[in-house]
Structure 1
Amino acid sequence: MRRDTFLKSLAALAASGALPMSAWAASNLKMMIPANPGGGWDSTGRALGKALIDAGAASTVSYENKGGAAGTIGLAQFVNSSKGDGNALMVMGAVMLGGIITGKPPVQLSQATPIARLISEYNVFVLPANSPLKTMKDVVEQLKKDPGSVKWGGGSRGSTEHIAAAMLAREVGVDPAKINYVAFRGGGEATAAILGGNVTVGGSGLSEFAEYIKAGKMRPIAVTSEARLSGQDIPTMKELGYNVVIGNWRGVFGAAGITPAQRKTLTDAIVAATKHKSWAEALQRNDWTPALMTGPAFDKFVDDEFASLRAIMAKSGMV
């Protein structure tokens, strides 16, 4: 049977009541990406959408980008416009949790439905190729002399790169409140600022900087992982003498008020997508670490992450 005929048959069965609507819920998905195009959430959402289609877990996936405030503007729109919609997904991650802690938005993540953690990634700090600074030690020395003269460029306030910069400042005896952090609404804007020399140091996942590092337009100086990234000659903050280890992760949530059956359908669709070679290729292409987690384990993980980030941010003078 042709795929389009099969899908039409499913639709007819669902409409007649012969097939539970939950079995049809993941066919035409809407993906909220709460960031501008060109960043980690954008690439994650679009790679996931392709894998969902390639795996046969969705027939179509549409995307909407709504950047700003660490994803909380997109979160508000998603919560308010998608209630009960079993076809809606929103990309999110550690950055959104940090933004909620610092920004205190009118909506909370608890108003949406946890579906799955997808990947983990650590932050890489880079310098523009023509920067007079060459190493993280150079950056630290300038930071000690004049904290405001070091412009840190990255994602929204409360992002993991923002937290890492605050952690570093505290490590070297600088008041974290004095760091000059420039927040951007999307990875594309941050990359342009780094390449243009409009910020001193840039921070993000390796996937966003890889092509510019390879082309010699950016110089990687440190990564926030416990050990060096596989295949990369980038020193960790820890081996440079700074106890700064913080990971980033990304996942997806469903709409508020969906049924357990709808949540299961979405979860099953995500699991199917992550088993497809399309997703494996995206992981390899972007240097993402697979970190699939669903169900109650993911619910608990998000709660624990909120507590952990809140403690780190309070210790670093951010809240």
Structure 2
Amino acid sequence: MTSLTLKRLSVFALPLATFAALSTAAQAQEWTPTRSIEFVAPANPGGGWDTLVRTVSRVIQQEGLADENFAAINVPGGGGAVAWAQIARDSGNPHKLFATSPPLILVPLAGASRYDHTDFTPVARLITDYSIILVPADSEYETINDLMTALEANPNLSVGGGSAPGSMDHISVAGLASAAGLDASSVNYIPFSGGGDAMTNLMGGHIEAVVTGAGEAVGQLGEGSQIRALGVSAPERIGGGLADVPTYQEQDIDYTFDIWRGVMGTPDMPAEAVAYYEDLFAEMLETDAWRDASEQLGWINAYQNSEEFGAFLDGQQEQFSDVLSELGLLRQ
């Protein structure tokens, strides 16, 4: 074979290889669901995960963004650990997603789950929410400082939340107490299986207050409500249905706490499925229906794609390890 022939072959080989690579990439991007997507909220109805799952599912359907339905499924227990164990056994399933937030980092660090974020596939971070402290409408506590003073005077008084000990709600109220001058480890935090259960116990008089996500509380506040908000962990007041709720900082407690929320997939979810969901959620965040829902719930868009979200989760694990260590809750 002559050198001229070799040169001609090499000239044609590159475009063919490039074409093959482009064809493979195109096929990866063309994946779409072939049946309904199971969208898991790892808690009972009424909590932050449930609110995210149902809001996302509704907006996607309302805007016609996907051909298949997103079916909301509640799997409560263990502050998320029961659902994570089930999902971990469904490796590679591209038709199963779950809502996530700081408990995916905190619960394993506290030793309450054998699975952590590294066992699953990051899909996208969607929003940032904030914590809010709620009391019954007829409570004697008028401000967040009233509640902190009572907790300091009587350590037996309890604050409930919808996540496990050492998890999101606990860390939020412990940090608040510390910023208010209390010993964070002295807070009598009572965990419930979800925000809905915590609210039931609040109204039953079994706990003094509830710490929960602002987004999941907004629908229960307002004129004639049986509950009242003492403060929110945002750096400034939230709009929508929470415009009248003062921040902790307004009440001279220099403390903020944000609750990121996103979506994860099964272990080893195919890359083409991840790419599909990344694009779907990015498109969803730009819709009018999502903007309206976010404004009402006090959510702030904070989109990250799969790679960015994964790196963010690694950073959160390092940060929360330090917090739990200070509280004496880090698994050794």
Please confirm whether the aligned pair reaches a TM-score higher than 0.5, indicating the same fold. Answer: yes
- TM-score of the superposed pair, with normalisation by structure 2: 0.83
Equivalent residues in 2 for 1:10-159, closer than 5 Å: 20=27, 23-27=30-34, 28-53=36-61, 54-80=63-89, 82-149=90-157, 151-157=158-164, 158-159=166-167
> Does the aligned pair in 2 maintain the 1:124–1:223 contact within 8 Å?
yes
Q: What SS does structure 1 have at the residue aligned with 2:251?
A: coil
Alpha-carbon separation, structure 2, partners of 1:224 and 1:98: 19
Q: What SS does structure 2 have at the residue aligned with 1:181?
A: strand
Shift, 1:248, TM fit: 0.5
Amino acid at match of 2:184: P
Amino acid at match of 1:97: I
> Does the aligned pair in 1 maintain the 2:162–2:196 contact within 8 Å?
no
Q: What SS does structure 1 have at the residue aligned with 2:283?
A: helix
Alpha-carbon separation, structure 1, partners of 2:218 and 2:269: 38
Q: Return 5+ residue gaps in structure 2 as ranges.
A: 1-25
Alpha-carbon separation, structure 1, partners of 2:161 and 2:31: 39
CA RMSD of aligned residues (A): 2.2
Change (3 A) 1:109 1:178: same
Aligned to 1:234: 245
Aligned to 1:305: 316
Alpha-carbon separation, structure 1, partners of 2:294 and 2:68: 22
> Does the aligned pair in 1 maintain the 2:122–2:263 contact within 8 Å?
yes
Q: Which entry has the higher C-alpha Rg, 1 or 2?
A: 2
- TM-score of the superposed pair, with normalisation by structure 1: 0.86
Q: Residues 155-195 of structure 1: CA distance to partner in whole angstroms, max 9, x if unpaired?
A: 21233331122123333444333321111112211222222
Flag as ranges the 4+ runs of structure 1 deviating above 6 A: none
Change (3 A) 1:44 1:205: same
Aligned to 2:21: none
Which of 192, 197, 202 is residue 184 of structure 1 equivalent to?
192
Amino acid at match of 2:44: N
> Does the aligned pair in 1 maintain the 2:274–2:306 contact within 8 Å?
no
> Does the aligned pair in 2 maintain the 1:164–1:244 contact within 8 Å?
no
Alpha-carbon separation, structure 1, partners of 2:239 and 2:65: 32
Q: Residues 226-262 of structure 1: CA distance to partner in whole angstroms, max 9, x if unpaired?
A: 2222362322223323232211011001111122222
Alpha-carbon separation, structure 2, partners of 1:58 and 1:252: 19
Q: Percent identity?
A: 27
Aligned pairs, number: 300
Change (3 A) 1:154 1:314: same
Alpha-carbon separation, structure 2, partners of 1:34 and 1:176: 27
Change (3 A) 1:285 1:240: closer
Q: Return 5+ residue gaps in structure 1 as ranges.
A: 1-18
Amino acid at match of 1:305: Q
Aligned to 1:4: none
Change (3 A) 1:45 1:251: same
